């Protein structure tokens, strides 16, 4: 009997072990796969100028190194790296990191990488020099504090006249081939690879800029041309998508990799170096070309908002754009960024009787509230709209529109392009002015809109036609407001031509006085001369009746006492 029991226990143990193994095999297998995959996600740089060794080359010279154990940030600085075609691969494999994960906005001094969207996941390094590659979250782990996988490419120096990977092409330079060495742009010294340029004789014909020795990759033409930064703009015009030279001569063509724009200058053209600072921190060096006013490009700073360039470190003397004849230092004024509740008030509802959109952008950087028409604001009524904007999306420029496009013919209505200065968060359209809307006054404005709406805004304040129960409804809503909002409403100056709180106060005062409604906001006070409001008269009448009733009661009691004494 004992033997049978032992056999049964042994059989049960074997079955349990097998079942447990079946369950655990996929888990262990997945864990091994994850570890193997993670181990192979170490980035390695490969390419035409350095070779295609997916193992990182001898001594791992092209393998990116983790900055610290567990940081999940891999970086490597390469000296004298030549321009050309490259890939980032996972070490020991030919699994490629997508080139489109290049983060040009956070790379310095400009977008010196041109990523392709082909299956090979190639990218082109546009200039030569000392370059630092940094890969964030190479495993692309969801929920990583580093965000989605991306890589940056920073130049710290670039040799003078180093051949770039850009080339002039077109009839202006003898044909549309992209492999003519004499048409190849070179790096400008002193700007860490930002500017690529060439001085060449250009015929009166069309040209563009392409990736060197490619099937016309890049394709920078008229849409990339910046006339405001070109001193030979009088000899340049549009020809379809091409740039056309109208007068044959020697020209200096410059490609600015920071703003991805083409300048066309007459030859000779010189430049001065402009050093741009945030306090004592050098942000970048920029070229101010001769024969044209210099306008600084933006220099965004993390968690800061830009408020102008100054010629002194104390930020007392604003910079006025003009020609620059010598080295120049500029100092940016930056203020701490904060989330903003942006308000827009259009009393006449000239922009829209319906929804209003906010469209923001930073010049030379990009849109902040999405593509046109931007982000729809919260519609509160009577032409008042608001939008909560996180500090990362607060912009230097903004306009408000009705959400349509195509100009007036398409029904598009919009404000002018507006400079959005720090501290301002209210734009009043009918006065074309910026101001400040506090959180308290915003809440008071919303209640003011309720007053104007519930008291039949369309009928006028003197009308006796009020919505049934409106005053009681408003009184109940008012009781739930915070004390600071109640105080704002109580102390508001009544004015039918003022903001919405002032208009609501004027409406409230007239209705409360004329129809003797309860003064739940506690706004009504006796005017000079002692003449009291209707509410005061009601209180006086009640007090008088109370006093008379009291005397009558005392008299009755007195009479009763006297009668008792008489009979006793």
- Same domain? For 191 and 256 the reply is yes
As a dihedral over the C-alpha atoms of residue 11, residue 17, residue 19, residue 24, rounded to 10 degrees, the angle is 180
Tokens in use for 438? 């506090």
Render pLDDT for 34-63 as a digit per residue (tens, 0 to 9). 333 444 689 999 999 999 998 877 778 999
User: Higher pLDDT residue, 426 or 36?
Assistant: 426
Render pLDDT for 194-236 as a digit per residue (tens, 0 to 9). 999 999 999 999 999 999 999 999 999 999 999 999 999 999 9
- Is residue 564 in some structural domain? no
Of 136, 157, 178, which residue sits at a domain end? 157
Output the domain CATH number for residue 207.
Answer: 2.60.40.3620
CA–CA gap between residue 495 and residue 476 (Å, rounded): 24
- Is residue 3 in some structural domain? yes
Question: What confidence category does residue 467 fall into, taking pLDDT thresholds of 50, 70 and 90?
Answer: low
Lowest mean pLDDT among 72-76, 147-151, 152-156, 513-517: 513-517
Render pLDDT for 355-365 as a digit per residue (tens, 0 to 9). 999 999 988 77
CA–CA gap between residue 433 and residue 492 (Å, rounded): 21
How many independent structural domains does the chain possess? 6
Of 241, 269, 297, which residue sits at a domain end? 269
For the question of whether the overall pTM of this predicted structure is more than 0.85, the answer is: no
Q: What is the CA angle 110-52-107, rounded to 5?
A: 15
- Is residue 193 in some structural domain? yes
- Same domain? For 392 and 357 the reply is yes
Output the domain CATH number for residue 420.
Answer: 2.60.40
Question: What confidence category does residue 553 fall into, taking pLDDT thresholds of 50, 70 and 90?
Answer: low
- Same domain? For 62 and 134 the reply is yes
- Which percentage of the chain shows pLDDT scores above 70? 83
- Is residue 71 in some structural domain? yes
**pLDDT on residue 532:** 32
- Same domain? For 133 and 78 the reply is yes
CA–CA gap between residue 204 and residue 245 (Å, rounded): 5
- Same domain? For 28 and 133 the reply is no
CA–CA gap between residue 155 and residue 187 (Å, rounded): 12
**pLDDT on residue 302:** 82
Instruction: Tell me the pLDDT of the chain averaged across its residues.
Output: 85
Lowest mean pLDDT among 14-18, 168-172, 412-416: 14-18
- Which percentage of the chain shows pLDDT scores above 90? 67
Q: Which residues of 348-365 are buried (b: 16+ CB within 10 A; e: fewer)?
A: eeebbeeebbbbbbbebb
- Is residue 551 in some structural domain? no
Lowest mean pLDDT among 340-354, 480-494, 511-525: 511-525
Task: Mention every residue, 6+ apart, whose C-beta is less than 8 A from residue 216.
Answer: 169, 176, 178, 210
Q: Is the confidence at residue 543, as pLDDT, over 70?
A: no
For the chain, first and last CA: distance in Å?
115
- Sign of the Cα torsion 261, 263, 269, 274 reads negative
- Is residue 550 in some structural domain? no
Residue 436 CB-density burial (10 A; 0-12 exposed, 13-18 middle, 19+ buried): exposed
Render pLDDT for 108-146 as a digit per residue (tens, 0 to 9). 988 999 998 778 899 999 999 999 999 999 999 998 999
Question: What confidence category does residue 263 fall into, taking pLDDT thresholds of 50, 70 and 90?
Answer: very high
DSSP 293-311: -B-PPP---TTEEEEEEES
- Same domain? For 153 and 188 the reply is no
- Is residue 473 in some structural domain? yes
**pLDDT on residue 62:** 94
User: Higher pLDDT residue, 499 or 29?
Assistant: 499
- Is residue 543 in some structural domain? no
Paired strand residues for 133: 76, 153
- Same domain? For 153 and 48 the reply is yes
Residue span of the structural domain in which 215 resides = 163-269
- Same domain? For 21 and 50 the reply is no
- Same domain? For 486 and 505 the reply is yes
Of 104, 129, 157, which residue sits at a domain end? 157
Q: Is the confidence at residue 566, as pLDDT, over 50?
A: no
- Same domain? For 258 and 201 the reply is yes
- Same domain? For 472 and 509 the reply is yes
- Same domain? For 55 and 152 the reply is yes
């Amino acid at each position: 009997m004992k033997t049978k029991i032992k056999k049964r226990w042994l059989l049960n143990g074997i079955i349990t072990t097998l079942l447990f193994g079946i369950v655990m095999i996929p888990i262990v297998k997945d864990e091994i796969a994850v570890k193997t995959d993670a181990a192979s996600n170490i980035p390695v740089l490969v390419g035409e100028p350095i070779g295609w060794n997916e193992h990182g080359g001898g001594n791992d010279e092209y393998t990116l190194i983790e900055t610290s154990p567990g940081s999940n940030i891999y970086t490597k600085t390469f000296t004298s790296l030549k321009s050309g075609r490259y890939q980032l691969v996972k070490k020991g494999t030919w699994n490629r990191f997508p080139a489109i994960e290049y983060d040009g906005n956070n790379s310095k001094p400009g977008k010196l990488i041109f990523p392709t969207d082909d299956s090979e996941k190639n990218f082109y390094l546009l200039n030569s020099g000392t370059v630092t590659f940094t890969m964030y979250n190479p495993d692309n782990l969801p929920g990583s504090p580093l965000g989605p996988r991306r890589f940056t490419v920073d130049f710290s120096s670039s040799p003078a006249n180093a051949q770039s990977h850009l080339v002039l092409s077109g009839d202006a330079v003898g044909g549309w081939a992209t492999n003519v060495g004499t048409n190849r742009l070179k790096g400008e010294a002193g700007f860490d690879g930002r500017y690529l340029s060439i001085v060449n004789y250009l015929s009166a014909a069309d040209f563009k800029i392409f990736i060197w020795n490619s099937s016309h990759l890049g394709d920078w033409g008229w849409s990339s041309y910046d006339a405001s930064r070109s001193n030979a703009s009088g000899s340049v015009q549009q020809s379809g998508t091409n740039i056309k030279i109208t007068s044959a001569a020697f020209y200096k063509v410059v490609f600015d990799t920071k703003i991805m724009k083409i300048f066309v200058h007459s030859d000779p053209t010189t430049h001065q170096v402009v050093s741009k600072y945030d306090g004592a921190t050098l942000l970048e060096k920029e070229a101010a070309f001769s024969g044209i006013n210099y306008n600084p490009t933006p220099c965004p700073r993390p968690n800061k908002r830009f408020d102008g360039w100054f010629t002194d470190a104390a930020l007392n003397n604003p910079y006025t754009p003009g020609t620059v004849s010598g080295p120049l230092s500029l100092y940016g004024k930056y203020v701490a960024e904060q989330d903003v509740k942006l308000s827009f008030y259009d009393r006449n509802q000239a922009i829209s009787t319906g929804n209003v959109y906010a469209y923001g952008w930073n010049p030379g950087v990009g849109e902040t509230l999405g593509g046109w028409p931007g982000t729809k604001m919260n519609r509160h009524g009577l032409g008042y709209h608001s939008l909560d904007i996180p500090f990362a999306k607060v912009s230097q420029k903004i306009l408000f529109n009705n959400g349509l496009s195509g100009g007036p013919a398409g029904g598009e209505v919009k404000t002018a392009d507006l400079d959005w200065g720090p501290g301002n968060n209210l734009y009043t359209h009918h006065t074309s002015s910026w101001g400040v809307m506090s959180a308290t006054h915003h809440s008071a404005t919303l209640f003011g809109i309720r007053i104007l709406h519930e008291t039949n805004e369309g009928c006028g304040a003197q009308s006796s036609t009020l919505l049934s129960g409106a005053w009681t409804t408003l009184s109940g809503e008012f009781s739930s407001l915070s004390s600071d909002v109640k105080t704002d409403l109580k102390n508001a100056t009544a004015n039918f031509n003022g903001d919405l709180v002032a208009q609501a106060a004027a409406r409230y005062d007239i209705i409360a006085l004329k129809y003797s409604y309860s003064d739940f906001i506690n706004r009504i006070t006796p005017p000079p001369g002692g003449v009291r409001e209707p509410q005061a008269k009601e209180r006086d009448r009640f007090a008088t009746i109370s006093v008379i009733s009291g005397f009558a009661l005392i008299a009755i009691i007195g009479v009763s006492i006297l009668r008792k004494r008489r009979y006793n």
